[in-house]
Every structure is written in C-alpha cells, then in structure tokens.
Amino acid sequence: MLLHESAIKQVTGEAVFVNDMDISSEMLTGHVVYSKYAHAKILGYDLKQAKALSGVYAVLSYKDIPGENQVGPVAKDELCLAEDVVTNIGQAIILIAAKDKNTALEAEKLIDIKYEVLEPILEIEKAIEKNTLIAPVRKIERGNVEKELNKSKHKISGVLETGAQEHWYLETQSCLCIPGEDRNIKAYSSTQHPSETQAIIAEVLGIKSNEVEVEVRRLGGAFGGKETQANHIAAWSALLCNATGKPVKIHLFRDDDQIITGKRHRFLSKYEAGFDDEGKIISYSVELNADAGSATDLSMAILERAMLHADNAYYIPNMKVIGKAYRTNLPSNTAFRGFGGPQGIAVIETVIDKIARYLGKDSVEIREKNFYKKENDNITHYGEKVENNRLQVIYEKILKSSEYRKRRLEINQFNSENEFEKRGIALTPVKFGISFTTAFLNQAGALVNIYKDGSVLVNHGGTEMGQGLYTKILRIASLELGVSEEKIIVNATNTSKIPNTSATAASSGSDINGMAVKNAIDILKDRLASVALELLGSKSQKENIIFENDFVFDKNKPGKKILFKELIPAAYLKQVSLSSTGFYKTPDIWFDREKGVGNPFHYFAFGMAVTEVLVDTLTGYHKILRTDILHDTGDSINDEIDIGQVVGGFVQGVGWCTTEEIKWDAKGNLLTHSPDTYKIPTIQDIPADFRVELLKGYPNPNTIRNSKAVGEPPFMLAFSVWLAIKDAISVVGNHKSEPEFSLPATNEVIVLAVEKIR
C-alpha cells in the first residue's frame, strides 16, 4: 500500500525508460548539430557530403521542415531549427539520422557551418542597459510604497543576485518516434507535457493532432526541465522519423543536454524596505529582473510567480513588485521546481535577515512579527486572502522540536571559543501558492474502465517522473471505488486516452488528476448503485450504496453485501456502461494581470525548516550539521512519498543555494557542462542529522481527500541553509556588519564575504 507502484521494477532494472526501448533493428539514432556561437549569422553550409556517408539516412535543415518551423510553447519565438541567425550556443541547426551514434558523429564532421559572429548579450546588466525586455514590464502594487518608505524610521536597501540552476535529471532528454499508417506517428517521449509535445510534433510535421499519439510511462526525473524542453527533442525525432520512414530515437549525451536546454532563471533583484523599531516591515519595494535567455518560453509565467511570492510568509501593508524579463543570448531559460517562487522569496528572506542584524535581534523574532495573521493582516499584496494559515502552529512546533533557542545559546558559546570555525543557525518559512497562475491550465481529465472480471484500468493526464503520482492516483482510485489496489492498474499516460491535458507541473499533479479520476469514479458508482440496489433487493436510495473493501452494500443494512466483482458482470448484462471519463477544473481562481489583482491560488502550502551549519571561515567549506523540517501536506495521501518529496526538494534547494554554480565564458560557452564541473548535492552534502516531519491533524478543505500539493514548496526550505551560512559568516563581525552575500553561497562567496568583514 505504501510502496511506490514501480518500486519492484525499478529495483530489478526492469522499469523501462525511453532509452531502454529497442523496438526494431531498423531503429535509427537521431543526432542534433547545434550552434557553437551565442550570436551569429549563418553564412552557409553544404550537407551533400554528410548525406552521402554510408549509414546516414537523413540530414535535415529548416528547409526540410514540412510544417511550421516553430517550437515556442507560448510565444511563437523559438525556431525548431535555426534559419539565418543563431541566438544561443546549443541552438539546433541540422538534424541527422544514422544507423548509430558514431556514424552520426562522422556525418557531423562533414558539415562545415560558416558563421559571421555577432556580439552576444550574456549578462543581465548588459540586457538591462540595452533594454532587451521580452515583454512589457509587470507590476503588482498595494498601498503607498514611496510615501511610507520616506516616512519610515529605518530603511535598508540592496541588490541580490540569485544564480541559474541545471535540472540534472538523471535521464537526459529522450524521445523515440515510430511511423504509423498514413502520416501517423507515435512518440514515446520523456515529457512532462504529453499534449503539448503532441501539438508541437503535429505543427512541425504539418499534420493534425489526431495523427500524433504521445505516450509516457515514466521519466527519469524532470523537475520542470521536461515541461517545454522535451518538445524540442520530440520534434527533432519526429522530423527524422518522418523523413526516413523508420523509427528514430534521440537520447541526448549529458554534456549536450546541459549545453542545449534552458535552466532556472538567473535574477538580479533590487530592493528597499522600511520598518519600525520592532522590525515590522511597513513598506517594501522590489524590482525582479529575470534572464529569460534567447526566447520567451515560460519566462513571463515564472516571473509572475516570483512576483506573487515576493511576500513569502509575510504581511507587508505597502508593497510594490516590478517584474522584468530580458532577452539574452543564452539557451531559453525554463521551468524549474518552484517556478520563480524561490527567486522572489530569496529577496524578502534577505530583507528579514538584514533587518534582524540592523536591529540586533534574532531573525526569528522579525519573522514572527511579520507573519501573515489569521484574523487580520491576512491579505496578500495581490488581494488573495491567506486562508487556513498554518504559519503560527508550525512556527511554535518547530521552535520547540528543534530546540532553537537553546541551540542558539550553544552556538554563541561555540563561536566564542573557536576562532576560525563558526556555527550559524536559521529558521525559514515557506508559503507557496498552489495552482497554475494561468487559470485555464487548472483542468484535468481521466478515463476509468472497469472490465467484466472486475479489474480496473485508470488513465489520467499526469506524468510519473518519480514524484509518486501514479502511486497516489492508485490509492485515490482504490479508496474512491472501494476496490483493492491489486485489482487496479494505472495506465501509461497517453494522449489518445486523455486529450488536451496540462503539463504535470505547478505541484498540482495529484490535486487535479486525482480529482478527475474521482469524478470518473463517481459517475461509475452512480450507474453501478442502481444495479446494486436491484441485486440487494433494496428499495433504498442510490446515495446509500457504499463501495468499500471490494464489497458493495446499503449503509443502512451493512449485513448484506455483494462482491464488487459480482456486481460488475451483472451490470454488464444489464447493459450498463462500465467506462467513464472524468474531468476537473479548479474552482474560483482568477488573476487580472493588468491590475495585478486576483485569487490565483486554490490554497497555500506551508512549511518551515531550522538548519545549523558549521563554516570554516578560512576555506569557505561548510557542513550542514542538522536540519529540522515540519511541512504541511494536509491529510497526506501517502506519508512516505510526501516525506520523499520534502527531503528531495529540500536537498535540491540546498544544491541551488550552495554548490550549483553555473558559469559561462565571455563567448557564452557553458563551462559547467558535466558532472565534474557542475556540482549537484552528493550523499555527503545532506544534513548530518536530518529530521523531517509532516504536520498532522490539519486537513486541507476542498481538495482530493483533503490532501495538499508537495512537489515544489519544500525546495524553498533550503533558504534555512543559505541563511545559516550567512549567520555563521556574520559571527566574524560580531553580527554587526552585513556580509556581502549572493546565491549560491559557494566556498568562494563565503571566503570573500568573511575577508570583507575582517
């Protein structure tokens, strides 16, 4: 019951990923030739030699695209294959299908692309200077920020840089396309968004969506990196499949994946805050500048979520958030766990931390002072009321369970006795809005089939990428239909079963797909209840029929039961349909972008973390000594899976906050393009003492089985590590001077901050 539905297959090596599929000896390897320049004119190339190489089946340029040369998911500003200009290193120019990888690489050597190099924009500062805005400036404002700032007794201001982040899913981007009858094509894609992948394959091939079938059984990790980026690989694979009439598989080499695909958006944020003697923030102004990369992709939605999370867990009466996204000559940045939330929250957490140092108080006091309250001070800067607020209860519990105050004193003692090794501690909260902020995306479909033997096949539109969605859906279906899990299979996600789905993203996978499955089951139960009444010889109402533990009975006469598997064939003989679609749309959410006002979220998820670190101030090396997390998942559908999400999300956040530094050279070449230069957390980097708990006894109203989304929010609890490091650095100056700090806090950042204070 608690197991991940694929665990046994995964632990025996039987679980099949796209690159494990070997469907015919005819299958070809697809390969992409990409730009070596960040900004250049393509003067020309000759494909004749490459085409003539033995074992090469197709060499394609943009001229060979039968449909539209476009893969932009929102704005149509992203070419499938470059035409006369390239705008980032890694941009696809030529596609090759060959009998194997080596032949494709040989063919690539025979293609000499002539460029005229142009000047690239590689820094946000330069993009701001050149004003390369990708869309109009966005604003959310409440109160009178300037007036209140001027009136404030205390003020701080500053600039914060937060870095990019590479997804580093273990399974690189992959897609296998198989030609079908007529113009049809079937794609096995490692995508988080099967319906969009389907639509884009149809567009580049110039065919209709009903001629394309996309199937996804499982992904080897995604984290947002396969929400739109998988579309490119699928489109390339489909073009090669279409051109050769043979199955074509693309599985990107790790370095190519890192060079080609977009990352978490770098932000350069400018802030100013006014506050009183107690540290209560009266007015806050922040400008968020995002590096969108070379195309729009999801940048405006990501920027929007950053703006909507600029408050994090704090009520600020006067607040202004300006959002700008700039075009640069880097690969188009994209979705990544948190989707802008972390970038917005990093700034306000910095502000809180600085206020504490400025006033000489412990930062937990400042946080508590500013938390959203229950009765008043509970409206966000965009006008949504913070309902079912769990901040105070989590704060009180974790302060106690982590022994924060006692440890603070112990840390002070340690620091006074040690010259070069310093300890730091920080408590940080997260309040994260759940729903796609583009309201219409909050919809999901399901298809539930019951077969004559009583077995059940559940289809839904979400993708399984390790987060445990299928396991949760299985549990939901089992509980809602009253049939044991052994009799139910959750099918591979397929666009011919469930059309027009939204991406499995925004932490909403089980929320919306679970509800759609419930809707289908409710329809089936209503039909079956009539049959059950007859079989039970009852004159009762349909509503009284209960489906539970593989039995069906009237709740007023629980002594008389029939087996579910006996009810089903009886219903079949009575010509009752045993299949139903289901649908769900999240109720009552809206957002007016022009006015910056609305109710964009169905609810909020809350959590807090307390982290203690040890920093060697000479080398910048740090170690996480202990982390306590208390996270709110409502009535969890599966505790084990939710804890896995909290731990995994937190550690991924720790990577972003500490070791995961992305560097480009002056020409825009990615210098950190493999695991020996790009450092995701290893097993040695997690907290030595790691205590994770879910908040119990607080059901979430109006969601599937009172549960809560969990995928993204814990990522932001990693700020406790980042600010604990800053706290340790701050000890060097007796907490009197503000350390110069940015994100990630690499050894280099730490050492420089320490030296500056000394």
Partner 1 sequence: MKLIINKKEYNVPDSYGEKRLTDYIRDELDLTGAKNACQMNACGACAVLLNNEVIKICHVLVKDAEGKEILTIEGMENPDGTLHQLQQAFVDAGAIQCGFCTPGMVLTAHAFLMKNPKPTREQIRKALQGNLCRCTGYQQIIDAVEMASEYYRKN
Give the integer Cα–Cα distance in Å for 15 and 298. Answer: 31
In the bound state with partner 1, the residue whose beta carbon lies nearer, of 347 and 694, is 694
Binding span for partner 1 by CB under 8 A among 118-126, 263-271, 366-374, 640-648: 640-648
Q: Looking at 227-235, 350-358, 649-657, 724-732, which segment touches partner 1 (CB under 8 A)? A: 649-657
- Phi, psi of 53, rounded to the nearest 5 degrees: -65, 135
- The least CB distance from residue 17 to partner 1, in Å, is 7
List CB contacts of 662: < 8 A, sequence separation 6 or more.
Answer: 163, 164, 165, 166, 263, 670, 672, 678
Stretch that binds partner 1, among 11-19, 381-389, 441-449, 583-591 (CB under 8 A): 11-19
Q: Which two tokens stand for residue 101?
A: 């990888």
Which one among 37, 57, 168, 547 touches partner 1, defined by CB under 8 A? 168
Nearer of residues 21 and 74 to partner 1, judged by Cβ: 21
- The answer to the question of residue 25 lying near partner 1 (CB under 8 A) is no
CA 664 to chain centroid, in Å, comes to 24
Does 9 help bind partner 1 (rule: CB under 8 A)? yes
Query: How many Cα neighbours within 13 Å face the side chain of 341?
Result: 30
CB 507, min distance to partner 1, A: 15
Cis peptide before 744 (omega within 30 of 0): yes
What secondary structure letter does DSSP report for 739? P
* 17 versus 572: smaller Cβ distance to partner 1: 17
45 binds partner 1 (CB under 8 A): no
Tell the smallest beta-carbon distance from residue 84 to partner 1 (Å).
34
Smallest distance, Å, CB 301 to partner 1?
23
* Residue closer to partner 1, measured from CB, 193 or 367: 193
Q: Could you say whether residue 172 binds partner 1 (CB under 8 A)?
A: yes
In the bound state with partner 1, the residue whose beta carbon lies nearer, of 154 and 623, is 623
What's the min distance (Å) between Cβ of 706 and partner 1? Answer: 22
CB atoms within 10 A of CB 161: 16
Binding residue for partner 1 (CB under 8 A) from 8, 23, 43, 618? 8
Q: Report, in Å, the least distance between residue 36 CB and partner 1.
A: 20
Residue 691 phi/psi, 5-degree rounding, is -120, 110
In 3D, which of 253, 327, 255 has the Cα closest to residue 19?
A: 253
Alpha helices in 2-100 (DSSP H): 7-12, 48-52
Q: 5 or 78: whose CB is closer to partner 1?
A: 5
Q: How far is the CB of 169 from partner 1 (least distance, A)?
A: 6
**Residue 604 binds partner 1, judged by CB under 8 A:** no
Cβ atoms within 10 Å of 416's Cβ, excluding its own: 9
Full 3-state SS string of 45-65: CCCHHHHHCCCEEEEECHHHC
Per CB under 8 A, 220 contacts partner 1 = yes
Q: Which of 31, 193, 218, 708 binds partner 1 (CB under 8 A)?
A: 218
Question: Does residue 261 interact with partner 1 by CB under 8 A?
Answer: no
Q: Is 647 in the site for partner 1 (CB under 8 A)?
A: yes
Shortest distance, position 165 Cβ to partner 1, whole Å = 11
Q: What is the DSSP string of 199-248?
A: HHHHHHHT--GGGEEEEES--S--TTTTTSHHHHHHHHHHHHHHHHSS-E
Which 223-252 positions form the footprint of partner 1 (CB under 8 A)? 223, 251
Tokens of 107: 């063919």
The three-class DSSP label of residue 289 is: strand
Task: Give min distance, CB of 433 to partner 1, in A.
Answer: 23
289, 312, 738, 740 from 727: Cα distances, Å: 26, 20, 10, 12
Q: What is the distance of C-alpha 84 from the center of its chain?
A: 34
When the beta carbons of 467 and 730 are compared against partner 1, the nearer one is: 467
216 binds partner 1 (CB under 8 A): no
Residues forming the active site? 712
Tell me the torsion sign for CA atoms 434, 435, 436, 439.
Answer: negative
Q: CB 130 → partner 1: shortest distance, Å?
A: 35
Q: Of these, 253, 358, 551, 583, which contacts partner 1 (CB under 8 A)?
A: 253
Per-residue DSSP letters for 452-465?
TTS-EEEEES---S
What is the torsion angle, in degrees rounded to the nearest 10, for the CA atoms of residue 41, residue 44, residue 49 and residue 52?
A: 90
Exposure of 154 in the CB half-sphere (CA atoms within 13 A): 15
Q: Which stretch binds partner 1 (CB under 8 A): 579-587, 618-626, 675-683, 720-728?
A: 675-683
Contact 622, 725 (CB under 8 A): yes
169 lies in the site for partner 1, by CB under 8 A? yes
Q: Does 468 bind partner 1 (CB under 8 A)?
A: yes
Q: What angle do CA 616, 622, 625 make, to 5 degrees?
A: 110
Which one of residues 312, 467, 493, 658 is an interface residue with partner 1 (CB under 8 A)?
A: 467
If one asks whether residue 379 binds partner 1 (CB under 8 A), the answer comes out as: no
Contacts of 731 (CB under 8 A, 6+ apart): 415, 422, 423, 424
- Pick between residue 46 and residue 639 the one whose CB is nearest to partner 1: 639
Q: Within positions 682 to 701, which residues make up the interface with partner 1, using CB under 8 A?
A: 682-684, 686, 690, 692
Stretch that binds partner 1, among 109-117, 219-227, 341-349, 730-738 (CB under 8 A): 219-227
Q: Are 528 and 535 in contact (CB under 8 A)?
A: no
* 675 in contact with partner 1 (CB under 8 A): yes
Interface with partner 1 includes 473 (CB under 8 A)? no
342 is a site residue for partner 1 (CB under 8 A): no
Q: Which of 402, 443, 652, 700 binds partner 1 (CB under 8 A)?
A: 652
CB atoms within 10 A of CB 196: 23
Residue 448, SS3? strand
**Is 24 a binder of partner 1 (CB under 8 A)?**
no
State in angstroms the smallest separation of the CB of 536 from partner 1: 40
Stretch that binds partner 1, among 13-21, 194-202, 575-583, 598-606 (CB under 8 A): 13-21
Distance CA 206, CA 114 (A): 29
Q: Which stretch binds partner 1 (CB under 8 A): 1-9, 259-267, 356-364, 520-528?
A: 1-9
Q: Which residues bind partner 1 (CB under 8 A)?
A: 2-4, 6-17, 19-20, 22, 167-172, 218-221, 223, 251, 253-254, 465-468, 640-641, 643-644, 647-652, 674-676, 680-684, 686, 690, 692
